[in-house]
Amino acid sequence: MTQAQALDILKTGANVFLTGEPGAGKSYTVNAYVRYLRERGIEPAITASTGIAATHIGGMTIHSWSGIGIRDQLDDYTLDKITSSEYVARRIGKTKLLIIDEVSMLGPNVLEMVDAVCRGVRRNHDPFGGLQVVLVGDFFQLPPVQKERVQMPDLKNQDEAEVQLLFGDEEKSKTARFAYESSVWERVSLVPCYLTEQHRQDDDRFLELLAAVRGDRFDEEHLEVLATRRITREQMPAGAPKLYSHNVDVDRVNATELEKLSGQRYDFAMTADGPEKLVVALKKGCLSPEELGLKVGAKVMFTKNKPMEGFVNGTLGTVVKIEGAGGGSFGLGLATPVVETRTGKRIRVEPMDWTVEEDGKVRARVSQLPLRLAWAMTVHKSQGVSLDEAIMDLSQVFEYGQGYVALSRVRRLEGLHLLGWNERAFKVHPLVLARDHDFREASTTAERQFAELEAETLATMHSNFVYACGGKVGAKKEKKEKKVASPQVTKQFILEKKSLQEIAAERKLTLGTIVSHLETLREEDKNIDIDYLKKEAFTPARFKKIADAFLATAKSNPERHLGPVKSKLGVAYNYDEIRLVRLFLWGSVAK
């Protein structure tokens, strides 16, 4: 199923399980759906199973949202206490639809507790109190934490290792572990939408290897391919991040490498604002640390997306300068690192925000540089990150899916450098393997059924759901913006040779709105000079990549629509920069 097909199903108000392989565009599809809803005045409840996942999508944990906190079970008294909370009742009562990301890391008991709370608050016996529910995740990735101490004979220092999940004998356990094993999963009648496009990897041999791991077909031939990527510690490429299964290895490597660098160390402290519990959750989920120590020469990874400035979550680089540094340690705003990415682009890195939003308003915020030391990171924290290359030590893997998550972080086989592995590294959970077949079959059926609908019928279903949620059909924020913020005002900034960032900041408008103004201005005056913006907005390599995508799709897309080009480029590129390239190349919106 394509992203567009999944979006069409989501817009009908169906309860959906959105899944697919790493890099298939699950997060992109969810974000597109959220934008669609907000344009129509509908604010979804955006949650995730973990703090890290919550920060990726700008939401909060499902535990905080539902009021269940750290509980692993509910009795009648506790349920009544939660549903009687004015704050929880108000939040859940006005919600129209609930999104839960990384559902693969959510135990069945948690899903059932959330269902019970929603039904109690909304006084509705339907699953989740009648909310539209969108569950997002891939059960082949990291599973829910199971708090058991187990014997792992080939782990080093096993007496000290607090291993949290049972591995070898888990299939014999009678205890349900996965969210799909909960009773509410069946009752809520989810439509599986299995995304099949690949937007991260473009290496056919590597894709086949990952598919073999996922399909439990990994054999000696695949092992031989991986063996070609095995290296010794002496052969480790400089600057490539290292993935380990345990935090102790990550902390040791990063601290050691930073200490090796000569020169002044500068410390950047995270700032926070909002209720303590929400701030704590944001800090726990933020990929940037509370205290970030940097030196010139430090290897770093960006932890947020800002494609127009040349970086996304996972972009690697080196600190080449720290501006405004007069000595000593500095808080945010007093010293500014300059990072050179692997493409050669230099980026002056300013603090960014991680927030918890509700009803479109920010309830809590933490601010930090969107960076972390990148000599090493854990496999768990790498989930959701795309890397050009990585060094991996899979010799102490202890979870189903851990090796698969690690391998799928890199885009191509040539970017993979393996120090070692154990027998668990390329195994997937047998129960997930069986259930995945069912999800694929159901997705194929749904795809066929929705394809048979007349376009008018589908549009009516979309409109009916918007009405049911109290939204406005056809409401377009862009039209309102143009009435109070005309392209002619933007033109004055263009004549002054202001940058895109400066125009957006001074006009308090989004970059997307400014790009729309540029399109209008070029239509009105072909000779207006906007070419100076090209150097600011793109590296030569990034501009060429987008231009090549237009050329590659020219035959099937002569009108130069954005969708086919975006599909070819994947999630690392956004629509605004694609629109800009189209404007620079042809000086018009479309043929």
Pairing of strands 291-294, 316-323: unpaired
Helices (H), 452-499: 455-468, 477-484, 487-495
CA distance 555 to 78: 62
In which residue are the tokens 């406005």 written? Answer: 472
Assess whether 98 and 193 both reside in one domain. yes
In this structure, the answer to whether residues 240 and 378 fall within a common structural domain is yes
Domain presence at residue 159: no
Question: Is the same domain home to 195 and 270?
Answer: no
* 61 plus 190 within the same structural domain: yes
* Domain span including residue 120: 3-143+178-202+431-468
From the list 180, 177, 154, the residue with the least C-alpha distance to 165 is 177
β-pairing verdict for 316-323 and 336-341: antiparallel
Residues 228 and 330 in one domain: yes
Residues 459 and 482 in one domain: no
| Residue 182 near residue 111, CB atoms below 8 Å | yes
Q: Comparing C-alpha atoms, which of 96, 127, 51, 128 is closest to residue 383?
A: 51
Question: Minimal CA–CA distance to 443: which of 126, 26, 23?
Answer: 26
Same domain, 288 and 235: yes
Structure tokens at 406: 């690690």
Q: What is the CATH number of the domain that holds 46?
A: 3.40.50.300
Specify whether 193 is located in the same domain as 90.
yes
Task: Give the span between the Cα atoms of 61 and 350, in whole angstroms.
Answer: 27
The tally of domains found in the chain comes to: 3
As beta bridge partners, residue 352 has 368
**Is the same domain home to 122 and 264?**
no
Query: 581: domain CATH number?
Result: 1.10.10
Largest CA distance in the chain: 73
Q: Is residue 39 part of a domain?
A: yes
Q: Are 316 and 331 in contact (CB under 8 A)?
A: no
Sort strands 371-373 and 299-302 into parallel, antiparallel or unpaired: antiparallel
- Tell me: do 221 and 329 sit in the same domain: yes
pTM (2 d.p.): 0.57
Q: pLDDT tens string for the chain (591 positions)?
A: 888 889 999 999 999 999 988 777 788 888 889 889 988 888 888 887 765 555 555 667 788 788 887 677 778 888 888 888 887 888 888 888 999 988 888 888 888 989 998 998 888 889 998 899 999 988 887 666 554 433 333 333 333 332 333 233 343 334 667 888 888 898 988 999 998 876 555 567 788 888 888 888 888 888 888 889 999 988 888 768 888 877 788 888 888 989 999 889 999 999 988 888 888 878 877 778 889 999 999 988 888 877 678 777 667 789 999 987 544 333 334 588 999 987 788 999 989 888 876 555 677 888 999 998 888 888 877 766 777 788 888 888 877 778 888 888 887 888 889 988 888 888 888 888 888 888 888 888 988 888 888 888 988 999 999 998 888 876 444 443 333 346 778 888 888 888 887 787 777 776 777 887 888 888 777 778 888 888 777 788 888 888 898 888 888 878 787 777 877 887 567 777 888 888 888 765 544
- Which stretches of 245-360 are assigned E, i.e. beta strand? 266-269, 271-273, 291-294, 299-302, 316-323, 336-341, 346-348, 352-358
Residue 237 is classified by DSSP as P
114 and 80, same structural domain? yes
Per the domain annotation, does 149 fall within a domain?
no
Q: Are residues 277 and 329 in the same domain?
A: yes
Residue (of 462, 524, 460, 458) closest to 490 by Cα position:
524
